[in-house]
Amino acid sequence: MAHAQVAVSLKLILKNAEGKVLALEAQGNGPMADYYDLPGGRIDEDEIEVPFTKIFEREIQEELGDVRFSVVPRPITVLTWTWPNGKQFCYVYYEGTLISGEPKISAEHLSFKWIDLDETEINNHFTTFHKSALLQYIS
pLDDT tens for 29-51 read: 777 888 999 999 999 999 999 99
What pLDDT score does 81 carry?
86
CA distance 66 to 112: 15
Residue 139 pLDDT more than 80? Answer: yes
pLDDT tens for 74-131 read: 999 999 988 878 889 999 999 999 999 999 999 889 999 999 999 999 999 998 889 9
Q: What is this structure's pTM?
A: 0.92
What pLDDT score does 2 carry?
86
Output the DSSP codes for 31-56. Answer: TTTTSEE-SEEEPPGGGTTS-HHHHH
Q: Cβ distance 92 to 101 under 8 Å?
A: no
CA distances from 17 to 22, 125, 138 (A): 11, 20, 17
